[in-house]
Structure 1
Amino acid sequence: MDDSSELSREVEWAARRLRQAGMAFVLASQGRVLVESRKPGLLPLLQAARQLRAMSPARPVLADRVVGAAALLVACWAGVRAVYAEVASEAAHREAEARRLPLRSERRVPNVLNRQGDGLCPFEAAVIRALEQGAGLEEIVHLVERLAAGDGASVPSRWAERGAVRVRLAAGAGAGLGLAVLLPSVFHSFGLGPSFLPMHIPVLITGAVLGPGAGFAVGALAPLLSTILTGMPPLAPPVAQLMVPELATYGAAAGWLRARWVSRRLLEGTGGRAVRRLVGEYAWLSAALILGRLALALSAAAVGPALGLRVSPVAYVQAALLTGLPGLLVQLVVVPILTWQLADRLPILSERGEAYGTADAS
């Protein structure tokens, strides 16, 4: 057996141990665990690295949930032979390539965010800045130690990073809201609005990519803003009022469910990576559509008569379902594809997507 095959087997063994035992990271060599931990964050990994350097064992492999530049360099310092990551940042891949350290990741993301999802992980930001200033490996490890110890070492641009992420979120949500108003006006000009439900698509995608908060806000505002600007959907009968809870539920459910069924990869054992991803995309979308229709039904029953709804709530919901069947089919085709592409290819949006998924390591 050649060295590359043996190394691949060791990496696979460590990755399997990581998943099956629910560990945050695993350091293994020759089919046995050297150090493992369920505690997230860099401090346990740093402590394990020091322990390994003192033990001087055969060079191990590392399997970790999230690997940014900081974790990658700590692994280099510990003398690992290869790294497996469920999620790895672009900076981690660049450093691994520069140091000729094999790094395999299930998912590659622009950045590792902090736990709040409103800025870069402070370790990541500090290490990237140190690398730009030409710091060596020992200097970077000492920097990570100081940050982990909380001795006052800070990341000067932390608040700036948070502000930048918030600006990008606001821009993304604004674009989603604009499309949620513009698309229906185009479809209504051809008499196709009620059938193709064009307002639903931007709301679902905004929630799925930017998270439940942005999805809820866009879903709640879009019907009312569209009514003010274009007169559609109408207030009498109370279509706009009943669409508010429906679309707000779509947006919030899309963000919350996708983060758990795609980003957290709960369908990990159902086949290949692409198949799991596709199943996850359709799972969250189907569930969000059902929850949104339930919200519409409950709203029609609870407040429909008081708002002037002249038909029974059951008849109203049935009519909405039948009329919107073409739009439902369009959503099932278009939304998963666009969400997949946007979440993976646009850093402005996908950074927030990761904040609701697994790439939060600080």
Structure 2
Amino acid sequence: MTESEQLVQTTIGSGGATLCAADGGELVYRLTGRGISALLTAVEEERVVSHGPLDWGDKLVGRAAALLFTLVRPRSVFALTMSTGAQDVLRTAGIPFTCDTVILDVLNRTGIGPCPMEAAVSGINEPLVALETLKQVSRTLSDAGRNNAPRKGST
């Protein structure tokens, strides 16, 4: 295991970030966010400013996240928890990966159905199509959250 891979695993494992990337034993990205939002942000930034291959780590990697990871051409991907669908995507793309726990599917926050991001990419295999789809779903969910938030002064 390289110094960067160890740093990524330690950072994610300690809760120091929900998403991070390292190169040469130094963190290049350290983001915290709910769901796939941090990865969407990093992918957009990475597509503009290329650092070359990085070792990436994420708290949870489902198939949706794995499709996004292929866009940044990582040196490796680590996850505390990874779905079998994510493993299939990364394996097909030739990206080395490790994880602490393997799950069948990523569930929604209530735990009773599929994660909306996973559902959105269920029939998608093209990473760029997945990116656009996930950005749209993220915006829709964000807008719905704002519209359902209590308003100041309402009773």
2:14 aligned partner: 20
Q: Does 1:99 align with 2:89?
A: no
- Asked whether the equivalents of residues 108 and 114 of structure 2 are also in contact (C-alpha less than 8 Å), the reply is yes
Q: Larger C-alpha radius of gyration, 1 or 2? A: 1
- The change in CA–CA distance for 1:50 and 1:129 in structure 2 (over 3 A counts) is same
Q: Distance in 2 between matches of 1:81 and 1:66?
A: 18
- Asked whether the equivalents of residues 112 and 124 of structure 1 are also in contact (C-alpha less than 8 Å), the reply is yes
**Alpha-carbon offset, residue 22 of structure 1:** 2.7
Q: What do residues 233-266 of structure 1 show as CA deviations (whole Å, max 9, x unaligned)? A: xxxxxxxxxxxxxxxxxxxxxxxxxxxxxxxxxx
For structure 2, list consecutive stretches of 5 or more residues without a partner in the other structure. Answer: 143-155
2:72 aligned partner: 78
- SS of residue in 2 equivalent to 1:150: helix
2:35 aligned partner: 41
Structure 1 length-normalised TM: 0.38
**Alpha-carbon offset, residue 35 of structure 1:** 1.5
Q: Distance in 1 between matches of 2:16 and 2:127?
A: 30
2:124 aligned partner: 130
**Alpha-carbon offset, residue 38 of structure 1:** 2.0
Q: Distance in 2 between matches of 1:68 and 1:87?
A: 8
Q: Which has the higher helix share?
A: 1
- Asked whether the equivalents of residues 3 and 24 of structure 2 are also in contact (C-alpha less than 8 Å), the reply is no
Q: What do residues 137-178 of structure 1 show as CA deviations (whole Å, max 9, x unaligned)? A: 2111111111111179xxxxxxxxxxxxxxxxxxxxxxxxxx
- Structure 1 residues 171-320: aligned runs within 5 Å: none
Q: Distance in 1 between matches of 2:38 and 2:110?
A: 20
CA RMSD between the two structures: 1.7
Q: Distance in 1 between matches of 2:141 and 2:132?
A: 12
1:224 aligned partner: none
For structure 1, list consecutive stretches of 5 or more residues without a partner in the other structure. Answer: 153-362
- Asked whether the equivalents of residues 88 and 107 of structure 1 are also in contact (C-alpha less than 8 Å), the reply is yes
Q: Distance in 1 between matches of 2:104 and 2:12?
A: 23
Q: Distance in 1 between matches of 2:32 and 2:41?
A: 13
- Asked whether the equivalents of residues 79 and 100 of structure 2 are also in contact (C-alpha less than 8 Å), the reply is yes
How much identity, in percent, do the aligned residues show? 23
Q: Distance in 1 between matches of 2:119 and 2:108?
A: 10
1:88 aligned partner: 82
- The change in CA–CA distance for 1:32 and 1:9 in structure 2 (over 3 A counts) is closer
- SS of residue in 2 equivalent to 1:129: coil
Q: What do residues 286-319 of structure 1 show as CA deviations (whole Å, max 9, x unaligned)? A: xxxxxxxxxxxxxxxxxxxxxxxxxxxxxxxxxx
Structure 2 length-normalised TM: 0.84
Q: What do residues 195-251 of structure 1 show as CA deviations (whole Å, max 9, x unaligned)? A: xxxxxxxxxxxxxxxxxxxxxxxxxxxxxxxxxxxxxxxxxxxxxxxxxxxxxxxxx
Runs of 4+ in 1 over 4 A off after TM superposition: none
- Asked whether the equivalents of residues 4 and 26 of structure 2 are also in contact (C-alpha less than 8 Å), the reply is no
- Asked whether the equivalents of residues 80 and 100 of structure 2 are also in contact (C-alpha less than 8 Å), the reply is yes
Q: What amino acid sits opposite 2:9 in the alignment? A: A
The partner residue of 2:4 within 3, 7, 10 is: 10
Q: Does 1:148 align with 2:138?
A: yes
- Asked whether the equivalents of residues 50 and 78 of structure 1 are also in contact (C-alpha less than 8 Å), the reply is no
Q: What amino acid sits opposite 2:140 in the alignment? A: G
2:109 aligned partner: 115
- Asked whether the equivalents of residues 27 and 60 of structure 1 are also in contact (C-alpha less than 8 Å), the reply is yes
- Asked whether the equivalents of residues 12 and 80 of structure 2 are also in contact (C-alpha less than 8 Å), the reply is no
- The change in CA–CA distance for 1:121 and 1:151 in structure 2 (over 3 A counts) is closer
Q: Distance in 2 between matches of 1:29 and 1:149?
A: 31
The partner residue of 1:67 within 58, 61, 69 is: 61
